[in-house]
Amino acid sequence: MNPAIALPETPRKGRGRWQLLLLLAIAIGPMLLASAMYQWRFWVPETRSYHGVLVGTGQTLADLGVQGELAPRWQILVTAPDACAADCQQLVYLARQIQIGLNRETLRASHGLAAGEALTADYVALLDREYPQLGRYGLDRQAYQRATEALPGAWLWLVDPHGNLVLRYPAGSDGKAILDDLRYLLKISQIG
């Protein structure tokens, strides 16, 4: 005689629903958690991995008042709403040194100066001689003051290839820290 063949048990309806709910929770849960963290500012780390001031407002070079066509590369841009005084000249020197410090990545970035006033003839001659690759741009002072809330003095900005402002540094900033920030941005960047 043939023994009875055992038929497999049919799955319970409740089990399938629980599996569906679990899959939805795994897929949607992290998005809801991240949105809540952003909205109510909880579990946000206090530390940061960059040294400058993050420009997280979506400002661009046009908002800053920079006039002229910049190359579609990362920019190390020095802005001076007034004459390029000693702090501005120190930042121009620092911008060039940072670009040189990029070594193999040096072609992915360029350095420039946007000044609100005309440069002195002596400084123009120095720039022509010592900084032949420095881009020079005009700066609309009123747009600059609106965009920066009248930041005093010269500033160094890191700008992405699309013209978005990423980080800014005051005069007297540590060049190694800026170089580290730019190297990190170039490492994670899919553009430029």
129 and 35 part of one domain: no
pLDDT tens sequence across 158-189:
999 999 999 999 999 999 999 999 999 999 98
Query: Of 40-49, 82-91, 106-115, where does mean pLDDT reach its minimum?
Result: 40-49
pLDDT of 135 higher than 80: yes
pLDDT tens sequence across 59-96:
999 999 999 888 889 999 999 998 899 999 999 999 99
40 and 104 part of one domain: no
**What is residue 14's predicted lDDT score, i.e. its pLDDT?**
72
Question: Does residue 4 lie in a domain region?
Answer: no
Q: Are 170 and 87 in contact (CB under 8 A)?
A: no
**What is residue 6's predicted lDDT score, i.e. its pLDDT?**
62
Q: State how many domains the chain has.
A: 2
88 and 153 part of one domain: yes
135 and 182 part of one domain: yes
**What is residue 127's predicted lDDT score, i.e. its pLDDT?**
94
Q: CA angle, corner 72, sides to 110 and 155, nearest 5?
A: 50
Would you place residue 10 in the very low, low, confident or very high pLDDT band (cuts 50, 70, 90)?
low
Question: Does residue 7 lie in a domain region?
Answer: no
What whole-number distance in Å separates Cα of residue 144 and Cα of residue 131?
Answer: 25
152 and 77 part of one domain: yes
CATH of the domain at 62: 3.40.30.10
105 and 134 part of one domain: yes
141 and 170 part of one domain: yes
**What is residue 54's predicted lDDT score, i.e. its pLDDT?**
84
Would you place residue 2 in the very low, low, confident or very high pLDDT band (cuts 50, 70, 90)?
low
Residues 6+ apart with CB under 8 A from 152: none
Question: Does residue 109 lie in a domain region?
Answer: yes
Question: Does residue 6 lie in a domain region?
Answer: no
**pTM of the prediction?**
0.74
**What is residue 7's predicted lDDT score, i.e. its pLDDT?**
60
Query: Of 34-48, 92-106, 114-128, where does mean pLDDT reach its minimum?
Result: 34-48
37 and 108 part of one domain: no
The CA–CA distances, whole Å, from 156 to 15, 45, 84, 87, 136 equal: 60, 26, 13, 10, 14
**What is residue 140's predicted lDDT score, i.e. its pLDDT?**
92
Question: Does residue 1 lie in a domain region?
Answer: no
What domain range is 24 assigned to? 14-44
What share of the chain in percent tops pLDDT 90?
60
